[in-house]
Amino acid sequence: MGADRTLLARRGMLAGLAGVPFLLRGSPAAQAQPIPPTDVTFLFSNDVHTCRMGNGLSPNCAEEGKTDENLLRHVRALNRVAELHWPETIRGAATRLASAGEPIAPPLGLVLGGDLTDDGGGQTALPEEGSQLVQFSERYRQGEGDGRVHMPVYLGLGNHDLDQDGHPPDIDWYRRELRDYVEVNHRSGLFFHPTVPVPNYHVESDSYSWDWGGLHLVQCQRFAGDTGKGAVSGLDWLKADLAAHAGDGRPVILFQHYGWNSFSTEHWDPARTTFDAEGAGPAHWWTEAERDALLDAIWGHNVIGIFHGHQHEAALIYRAGQLDLFKPKAAYLGGFAVVRVTDQAMDVVLCEAAADGSVVFDQAFSKTLG
């Protein structure tokens, strides 16, 4: 695929259409409407890391657990969530969830926080369809049966999807393939009929937003403001989106790949010749200035949580300043979150898929809203 052809498809012919829903929803008449009632249940997961290459796996994937068997276990657990109740206790301690003991409603969707694939979709020496992206679509595209998720999937990309360069002259081939996959799944237009349409899609950054009831949700991809590997910052779009669609104070949730945990914020440590939390050299993933720019973009809005990925082994519920942040274990390790937002409360439970595909509750969080 030539660069000029890609630019035409993604930046040219339909670019004007992407703003139409945004303008309609941001009109004064729309802003004057009362906030709709909210009772929303959804799932979040991250770091799927599909690893298929040819008839096998990429190097080290089997040893790290990045296998199709583990992803099938994860998919089975996601599909069983609606059979369960919100836990009243976890390991003998009361969860204090607002929803404790109630049935979990069928999730409205699964939101993903990046690293869908392990190596840029599955690169080969000559550009061709990425085998890892194909594997991902076989498992995490809404369908029937035991091998696919049974709900709409909202896609987000991470560094493993976007940092991999192809062989010259096709350096951006696999990056473009993954970004196109997100766009085709979510962006509506005259010639696009996405499987999971969203009303506000930013073509340049592939950030997008949608609403479930009175809850506004924003997918920021690797991170809001990313300019790495030729990416276009979505910060101005994010500011405009929040002003138009959340300026009335409704709750907002953001999704991206990088977070505020020690791994996401590590710097080069020259004494140890590695990146770590104590390093004073250049940032590894994103800088303090980039984090401050995101905080500035969301300032004054009712952001009730940020969900992210990037670190694999630990399940985290933590705070950075006034932000509540949530990071399940990696999907290939079985991790995901179940989230419920109502007009009164936000409940989050971090979960893990057991060996038989059942769901193990790990950590719980609840806070009052309104």
CATH number at residue 310: 3.60.21.10
The mean pLDDT of 167-187, rounded to a whole number, is 89
User: Alpha helices, DSSP H only, in 199-327?
Assistant: 235-245, 288-298
Number of domains present in the structure of the chain: 1
CA–CA separation, 92 and 63 (whole Å): 33
**For 193-212, how does the pLDDT look when each residue is reduced to its tens digit (9 = 90+)?**
899 999 999 999 999 999 99
What's the whole-number average pLDDT of the chain?
89
Q: What integer pLDDT is reported at residue 124 of this predicted model?
A: 59
**Is residue 14 a part of any domain in this protein?**
no
CA–CA separation, 163 and 121 (whole Å): 11
**Is residue 16 a part of any domain in this protein?**
no
**Is residue 9 a part of any domain in this protein?**
no
**For 290-347, how does the pLDDT look when each residue is reduced to its tens digit (9 = 90+)?**
999 999 999 999 999 999 999 999 999 999 999 999 999 999 999 999 999 999 999 9
**Is residue 11 a part of any domain in this protein?**
no
Residue 31 scores a pLDDT above 70: no
* Residue listed under structure tokens 């790290």: 64
Residue 37 scores a pLDDT above 50: yes
Q: Which domain holds residue 95?
A: 41-368
Q: What integer pLDDT is reported at residue 120 of this predicted model?
A: 78
Which of 362, 360, 348, 363 lies closest to 76 in space, CA to CA?
A: 360
